[in-house]
Structure 1
Amino acid sequence: MMLTALGLMSGTSLDGVDVALIETDGKQVKSFGPSGYRPYTNAERNLLRQALTEAVHLSHRDARPGILAEAERAVTLAHAEAVAAFTAQNHITPEEIDIVGFHGQTVLHRPERKLTVQIGDALALAKAIHIPVMYDFRAADVAAGGQGAPFVPVYHRALTQSLEREGPTVVVNIGGVSNITYIDGTDTLIACDTGPGNALLDDYMFRVMSQPFDCDGRFAAQGRADEAWIARALELPFFALPPPKSLDRNDFAALKLGDVAPADGAATLTAFTAYAITRVAPLLPKVPKSWIVAGGGARNLTMLRMLRQRVAPATVEAADALGWSPDAIEAQAFGFLAVRGMKGLPLSYPATTGVPIPMTGGVIARP
């Protein structure tokens, strides 16, 4: 049975709330509905940055000391506003939506401690928008010994099955962290985080240029990447680990560029992200024939160019060239996952998160 699901995603880039409507039975996507976006204000973004700093000390996933309680209220309100604006703009009533998939804002991801923390009050959100809300997608996976990420692979598989591509395809999602899904036919689904996404570059642009990100990769295009620095960074043990593996947004924050020209710094961090993505290729069963790039990084033309150079003769395409909406994919995915969760279908697998058996997940909050 097809259900109408509204997915909400606030990623590690801390840019805002993505909203997307899909019609799905949890296995196939019947249709894409409209999508929307509610940016975080500068004050909200600063609050979330403080929350990320404070969350490092958390030992219990339900604790909200100090600034984290304030940040949770802000996240919940931002999501409620995002849904209200989206439904009003698209003339959709709450009764027309069967389920909302609410990821929340990740502030800490430490699967080795069986700890993953997403802030956002699902019950308060359900009451505000008058629609059932499924949330807490990652907890069951992490509690069972999985990495708790990445969680979008089952949706990537549903999307790529409609393309009928020859040979293995990799879908790359470049958010704050980068992750890949390797799809080869209907059987093989492998996924992992690959390294930094936009987080290092965005933080650098904010610190050095007072800009939230490098628009289209134009700034990095003016610089020269420090290949020796990248080679040293890629010697970190994480990059040699086989999938599945996952990261926290700040796992590479300790890497320092030193005294370099700003454009060279941006070029180096852009190349580091691209090279880290391609480093996963030798760890996969077969060499991928095509790479499809989604997430915020799909708009970074310099990053796409660097990826193409590294994986040739394989093809590299931005997701929007295939009719996908790169900005909405993660939000769509959490709508898809909400329907899978309702039906008791697996959200994660041994080869995507390292969980011992295929795991379902999610909890429903009713208005």
Structure 2
Amino acid sequence: MSAQIYIGLMSGTSLDSIDAVAVRFEPSFELIASHSEPIPPAIDNRIRVLFNPGDNEIDQLGNLDLELGELFASAANTLIEHHGLSRDQIIAIGSHGQTIRHRPETHFTLQIGDPNTIAEHTGITTVADFRCRDMAAGGQGAPLVPAFHNGLFRHSQKNRILVNIGGMANLTIIEADPEKPVLGYDTGPGNVLMDSWIQHHQQKNYDADGQWANTGKVIPELLNAMLSLPYFSETPPKSTGREQFNPLWIEQNIRSLASTPEPSDVQATLLELTAITIADAINRHQLDNLQVFLCGGGSHNRQLRARLSTLLQPHYLSDTAELGLDPDWVEAAAFAWLAYRTLNKESGNIPEVTGAKGFRPLGAIYWGS
């Protein structure tokens, strides 16, 4: 059993790359290899076009679905070849795909990156389309990583909250008491607003270490306007995406100001928005003896971490590297785990997290050669 390997593929709302990992789950979890495949700028641009309703969407989506499938397959093949992995030992690939729409209010979600193409180009059984079954059972289809977090990071004496800061930010609440249910939900924006603002003004993909945000000052009126969004006060289960948090939303809130703000001040405000909405969600649970661990790209933003550290005092704050898994690879490992669960006919969701009517096996299986 120890020779059985699963590959996880993840492309998030930040569009920074496709992350690929090879892992084992038996006899215990082990990260064997990892690889990050850049998304070519031309494909990145076409994905961003599809984020918003437009013309000729069906043809655009169909073509991009196949091209992303090839790119996901390339990431898996490169991982295998660069690390000398045996394909005979790889049981399956779990591919999240690229989210194009997430409309939990209408029970609709769409991820592209054709799994038929992945299975064909790698020869390996591929499990994909993880979110739709949960939605069919009345759930939000997200977040799905809390079940993996619970399996890997639970502590018998410490309460723990895992915070994934990708394009969106989501929490997993794991109390030490095994009788308490695991909870999880999207708190709101992670990197998505900061990334889009710096891309517009400085043509950079992200604000490294929050350096640009650190040069600005928080605009209280803008921050308060953004915090008044009803989503932040809604009770879970809840999930969100670019449909809500996007450049248009930023501009709408800026137009409510008496004067045009400095771009750096807006960036500082967006960072503060992310920090406050994460910290408020954590503090709302009023847990003692709490450890908070970050993962995802936002865990590297030093300014964001500093604000979270202040807002979360006296709670302990670190990242998942301390728990044995690099924060960059947690989500990809989670989708390898979901594929593992699916092929073993086990559930992948947590009803208390997503709101589904019960536990469900997730994903469709596309057999390899």
What is the TM-score with the length of structure 1 in the denominator?
0.92
Distance in 2, Cα, partners of 1:348 & 1:140: 10
Letter matched to residue 51 of structure 2: L
- Kept in 2, the 8 Å contact 1:54–1:68? The answer is no
Letter matched to residue 167 of structure 1: K
Structure-2 residue corresponding to 1:52: 51
Distance in 2, Cα, partners of 1:216 & 1:283: 27
Please give the per-residue CA displacement for 1:126-152, whole angstroms capped at 9, x wherever unaligned: 011010000111110011110000000
Please give the per-residue CA displacement for 1:271-300, whole angstroms capped at 9, x wherever unaligned: 111111112135436357121110000010
Letter matched to residue 344 of structure 1: K
Please give the per-residue CA displacement for 1:65-86, whole angstroms capped at 9, x wherever unaligned: 0211122122111111111211
Letter matched to residue 92 of structure 1: L
Structure-2 residue corresponding to 1:154: 147
Structure-2 residue corresponding to 1:124: 117
Distance in 2, Cα, partners of 1:7 & 1:288: 33
SS in 2 for 1:192: strand
Name which of 211, 222, 225 aligns with 2:215: 222
Structure-2 residue corresponding to 1:255: 250
- Kept in 1, the 8 Å contact 2:24–2:30? The answer is yes
SS in 2 for 1:20: strand
Structure-2 residue corresponding to 1:301: 302
Distance in 1, Cα, partners of 2:80 & 2:65: 23
Structure-1 residue corresponding to 2:32: 33
Distance in 2, Cα, partners of 1:264 & 1:22: 42
Distance in 2, Cα, partners of 1:222 & 1:288: 35
Structure-1 residue corresponding to 2:162: 171
- Kept in 2, the 8 Å contact 1:201–1:213? The answer is yes
Name stretches of at least 5 consecutive residues in structure 2 with no aligned partner. Answer: 255-259
Structure-2 residue corresponding to 1:269: 270
What root-mean-square deviation, in Å, do the aligned CA atoms of Structure 1 and Structure 2 show?
A: 1.9
Written as runs of structure 1 = structure 2, the 5 A alignment for 1:310-349 is 310-349=311-350
Letter matched to residue 115 of structure 1: F
Does 2:202 match 1:209? yes
Written as runs of structure 1 = structure 2, the 5 A alignment for 1:46-125 is 46-54=45-53, 65-125=58-118
Distance in 1, Cα, partners of 2:160 & 2:143: 17
Deviation of residue 362 (structure 1)?
1.0
Deviation of residue 229 (structure 1)?
2.0
Distance in 1, Cα, partners of 2:103 & 2:292: 28
Please give the per-residue CA displacement for 1:49-71, whole angstroms capped at 9, x wherever unaligned: 1121238x99xxxxx70211122
- Kept in 2, the 8 Å contact 1:50–1:67? The answer is no
Structure-2 residue corresponding to 1:61: none
- Kept in 2, the 8 Å contact 1:29–1:158? The answer is no
Q: Which moved more, 1:215-224 or 1:46-55?
A: 46-55
- Kept in 2, the 8 Å contact 1:168–1:288? The answer is yes
SS in 1 for 2:58: coil
What is the TM-score with the length of structure 2 in the denominator?
0.92
Task: Say if 1:264 and 1:191 are closer, same or farther in 2 by CA, change over 3 A.
Answer: same
Deviation of residue 24 (structure 1)?
0.9
Please give the per-residue CA displacement for 1:11-37, whole angstroms capped at 9, x wherever unaligned: 111112100111115xx8431111110
Q: Which moved more, 1:183-192 or 1:317-326?
A: 317-326
Letter matched to residue 340 of structure 2: V
Letter matched to residue 23 of structure 1: R
Structure-2 residue corresponding to 1:190: 183
Deviation of residue 263 (structure 1)?
2.0
Identity value in percent: 32
- Kept in 1, the 8 Å contact 2:146–2:350? The answer is no
Does 2:10 match 1:9? yes
Task: Say if 1:270 and 1:287 are closer, same or farther in 2 by CA, change over 3 A.
Answer: farther
Deviation of residue 165 (structure 1)?
6.3
Letter matched to residue 130 of structure 1: G
SS in 1 for 2:96: strand
Deviation of residue 207 (structure 1)?
0.4
Q: Which moved more, 1:1-10 or 1:249-258?
A: 249-258
Letter matched to residue 183 of structure 1: I
